Each structure stands twice: as structure tokens, then as C-alpha cells.
């Protein structure tokens, strides 16, 4: 199929969408930095059958890098031995080696930050690392080109779309919504009600925010509600990409 062809979506009585089971809607989560709170978050996802993509910085993981959040909380990274099986059933993706702001970085540095992180994570986890999530809010055509050349299948960027429509270009995957935004619940409710096809609800964030903002309860309520939707499938980012590529939606 060419990139201009859209997926076939029938009315909701006869689902024929691009996702497993012919479903038209996918729910996916992208969480950055590999911090201690990921442990509790993964437990939550597993309880409700949801899928997450976790974006890690391999070099900071080995350094056990920590910093102080504005709330006074010390944010710590999980060390390699703690993550080996934590993300089983979920996706691990690259978030660069050291989380640099790449606006002034040249091609060589970008390739190193992406390619070496991918290699380190593949060695640690023994599985292919196919996704990349940009650190901070900077992204450029050079970074997209480097991500392709490093062998990634997609790049998730920090710009927020507030849209359920997935991108045509997997190397410009904008964030659906940031999890601390006020209208998170309305965004998810809109997704549960939409007839658009394909529709992807993508939430991005850092799990330490759930401690800092005391949001574990509301997030669990949201996950419970989504998990009860019969027409929604729960996928990692790479699974969304593979389904949309197979359907000809994504290049």
C-alpha cells in the first residue's frame, strides 16, 4: 500500500481497523528517564493490562544519576540490575546516552548519543531497541535523519499534538498529551468516545511526577476506565508503529 492510502475503517458495528482484532483505537504510554517510580507504575500497568514504552538513558543508569525536583524530592534513576526484568511485557526505547540538549550538537555527537545508547540497551536487555524518544523539547531534521541511520523505527518528540490522529511519518511522532495537563481526563474521555479511525491516545510523562503531584490515585482511576473499554487495544509504541505501517497509514 502507498502512504497516501488510508486504512479501511467501517462503522463501529463491524470494526476493521489496523490494530489487533480489527480494533480502531490504540492506547499507548511513553514514560521517560527510567526512574525509581517506574516500578510502581509498571505494577499499575500490569494490573490493568496496559502497555508502556520506557525511554532510558543507559549511561546515566550506570552512573545512578540523581537530581532534586522543584518539590524537593530527589529523583533517582534505576540501576541496570533493577531494570532487567522490570519492563518485561513492555517496550524499552532509547532516550540518548546522557540526556543532553542537542540543539548545538553536530551529527557525530547525535549519532553517538543515539547509536551507543541503542547498543548499550540492546546488550543489557538482550532485545532489539527500535524506538527513540527525544530528550527535552528539542528536535530537528538532523536528529530525524540520525535516528533513521541508527536503525530506529520511530522517534517520539516532545511537542504536544492534543490529537488522536497518529503521524504519517514515524520519525515525527508528537506527544498526544503530557500527563500533568489539566484536561488529561477530558482528552482520554474524548478518545473513548471518538469514532475516528485510526485513533491513538498517547500519554507521555515521567513517573516521578506522580509522586511529586500526588497523582497515583487519579491515574489509576483513568487506567481502570480505559481498561474497561471494549473497542480499545493496549499497545507499546513499536506495536502501534508496526500495525500502522502494515495498514499503509504510516511510512
**Residue 204 or 247 with smaller CB distance to Zn ion:** 204
Please tell me whether residue 117 binds Zn ion under the rule CB under 5 A: no
- Residue 209 binding Zn ion, by CB under 5 A: no
Q: What is the DSSP letter of 189?
A: H
Q: Between 136 and 185, name the residue whose CB sits nearer to Zn ion.
A: 136
Q: How far is the CB of 134 from Zn ion (least distance, A)?
A: 9
Q: Which helix H or strand E contains 156, and what residues bound it?
A: strand 154-160
In whole angstroms, the minimum distance from the beta carbon of 155 to Zn ion comes to: 14
CB 63 within 8 A of CB 248: no
Give the CA distances from residue 8 to residues 59, 234, 247, 249, in Å, rounded to whole numbers and listed in that order: 43, 20, 8, 10
**25, 26, 32, 139: which one binds Zn ion (CB under 5 A):** 32
# residues contacting Zn ion (CB under 5 A): 2
- Candidates 7, 9, 33, 210; binder of Zn ion (CB under 5 A) is 33
Q: Which is nearer to Zn ion, 33 or 239 (CB)?
A: 33
CA 146, 150, 155: angle at the middle one, nearest 5? 65
Minimum CB–partner distance for residue 136 and Zn ion (Å): 7
Minimum Å distance from CB 135 to Zn ion?
5
Count the Cβ atoms, other than its own, within 10 Å of residue 169. 12
For helices 216-227 and 184-193, the axis angle rounded to 10 degrees is 0
489487533: which residue's cell?
A: 20
Q: How far is the CB of 206 from Zn ion (least distance, A)?
A: 7
Cis peptide before 205 (omega within 30 of 0): no
Stretch that binds Zn ion, among 18-26, 28-36, 67-75, 240-248 (CB under 5 A): 28-36
Interface with Zn ion by CB under 5 A: which residues? 32-33
Amino acid at each position: 500500500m502507498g502512504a497516501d492510502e488510508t486504512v479501511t475503517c467501517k462503522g463501529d458495528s463491524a470494526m476493521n481497523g489496523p490494530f489487533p482484532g480489527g480494533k480502531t483505537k490504540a492506547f499507548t504510554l511513553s514514560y521517560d528517564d527510567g526512574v525509581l517510580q517506574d516500578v510502581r507504575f509498571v505494577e499499575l500497568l500490569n494490573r490493568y493490562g496496559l502497555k508502556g514504552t520506557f525511554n532510558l538513558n543507559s549511561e546515566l543508569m550506570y552512573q545512578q544519576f540523581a537530581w532534586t525536583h522543584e518539590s524537593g524530592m530527589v529523583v533517582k534513576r534505576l540501576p541496570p540490575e533493577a531494570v532487567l526484568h522490570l519492563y518485561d511485557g513492555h517496550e524499552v526505547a532509547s532516550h540518548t546516552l546522557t540526556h543532553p540538549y542537542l540543539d548545538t550538537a553536530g551529527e557525530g555527537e547525535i549519532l553517538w548519543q543515539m547509536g551507543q545508547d541503542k547498543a548499550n540497551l540492546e546488550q543489557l536487555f538482550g532485545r532489539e531497541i527500535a524506538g527513540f524518544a527525544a530528550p527535552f523539547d528539542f528536535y530537528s531534521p538532523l536528529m530525524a535523519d540520525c535516528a533513521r541511520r541508527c536503525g530506529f523505527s520511530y522517534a517520539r518528540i516532545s511537542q504536544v499534538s492534543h490529537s488522536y490522529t497518529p503521524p504519517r511519518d514515524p520519525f515525527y511522532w508528537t506527544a498526544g498529551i503530557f500527563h500533568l495537563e489539566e484536561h488529561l481526563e477530558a482528552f482520554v474521555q474524548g478518545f473513548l468516545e471518538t469514532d475516528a479511525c485510526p485513533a491513538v491516545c498517547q500519554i507521555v510523562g515521567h513517573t516521578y511526577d506522580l509522586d511529586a503531584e500526588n497523582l497515583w490515585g487519579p491515574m489509576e482511576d483513568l487506567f481502570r476506565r480505559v481498561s474497561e473499554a471494549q473497542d480499545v487495544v493496549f499497545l507499546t509504541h513499536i506495536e502501534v508503529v508496526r500495525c500502522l505501517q502494515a495498514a499503509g497509514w504510516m511510512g
